Amino acid sequence: MSLITVLQRKETHTVSQKDEKWDIEISSEKKLIDFKFKELWHYRDLLMLLVWRDYTHVYKQTILGPLWYLVQPIIMTLAFTVVFGNIAGISTDGIPQTLFYMAGITCWYYFADCLNKTATTFKDNQQIFGKVYFTRLIVPLSIVISNLIKFGVQFILFLCFLIWFSQTNDAVQPNLYILLFPLLVTLIGGLGLGFGLFITSLTVKYRDLIFLLQFGIQLAMYATPVVYPLSTVAPKYRWLIDINPMTPIVEAFRYAFTGSGIFSWYHLLYSFIFMCVVLATGMIIFNRTERNFMDTV
């Protein structure tokens, strides 16, 4: 009896080896690096539709619509100007406070939004993920792109202020480093996505991390030169601010558009390498989690 089953099994194996043209093979194997770029490309239409869905969803049944995107930077800039600029009296390196804070806020919130939203990918999409397969990475990618639209709107607001202030204030000196803008945006998005993938994967099994996240992002903002210029940081704490990969990006952004701040290729390269590492490990761990996460949720 058992011999027969063994024989049968052998037979099926040889048959399957003979015609090798299978399109899909599912097994328990776990490849460490399997980024499925081809599949990502296949689902590009879904990516765009998800972005568009998020976008329309935000302003459905609101009067101001996408104008709401502008409320956050304006309020935050006002609050920072009052609290850090006037009450605490922190220097802004000689450039107008409004412009200084808005530059930091625009960059920082793009990072924070990417991280915050991608960090709950698995939790928010259990319903869909449990019913249909598509490359899961599409979802966090769509979040990064949706936030890019928001960032775009806020960036235009920043540009308006920049043009106004560069006409009236000599300290504001936009320069050629503006050409680095696409790179800076990529770095911010990449870092947000990388960390987000990491956290969403870890929180599938143990949810504790989610509680730390909100708190952590708040704290991280103070470890980034958003409300103060890097030049005022005491040498004793400088290393702490320097290991933060967002620091060189925010500083470079401010330097390019306003001419104040510390620009360093060396530190920017550090951010770039940091992003590559975090994004790659994030994707690896995300891919590993995606295969079995439905069993643990």
Asked whether the CA dihedral 209, 215, 218, 223 is positive or negative, the reply is: negative
In DSSP notation, 256-288 reads HHHS-S---HHHHHHHHHHHHHHHHHHHHHHHH
Contact between 23 and other proteins by CB under 8 A: the answer reads yes
x/- map, 188-227, other proteins, by CB under 8 A:
-----------------xx---------------------
Smallest gap from Cβ 120 to other proteins, in A, equals 17
List binders of other proteins among 43-72 (CB under 8 A): 43, 45-46, 48-50, 53, 56-57, 60
Distance between CA atoms of residues 31 and 190, nearest Å: 23
3 state SS of 7 = helix
Which residue lies nearer to other proteins by CB, 46 or 285? 46
Give CA separation, 66 vs 55, 119, 142, 161, in Å: 8, 24, 18, 19
List binders of other proteins among 92-131 (CB under 8 A): 127-131
Tokens standing for residue 133: 């397969």
In DSSP notation, 167-205 reads HH-TT----GGGGGHHHHHHHHHHHHHHHHHHHHHHHHH
Contact between 168 and other proteins by CB under 8 A: the answer reads no
Which residue lies nearer to other proteins by CB, 47 or 172? 47
Which residue lies nearer to other proteins by CB, 54 or 242? 54
Span of 40-48, 82-90, 171-179, 217-225 interacting with other proteins by CB under 8 A: 40-48
Which residue lies nearer to other proteins by CB, 45 or 170? 45
- Contacts with other proteins by CB under 8 A: the residue count is 41
Q: Are 254 and 224 in contact (CB under 8 A)?
A: no
Closest CA to 142 of 211, 49, 72: 49
Which residue lies nearer to other proteins by CB, 95 or 141? 141
> What is the contact surface with other proteins in residues (CB under 8 A)?
9, 12-13, 15-16, 19, 21-28, 30, 42-43, 45-46, 48-50, 53, 56-57, 60, 127-134, 205-206, 291-292, 294-296
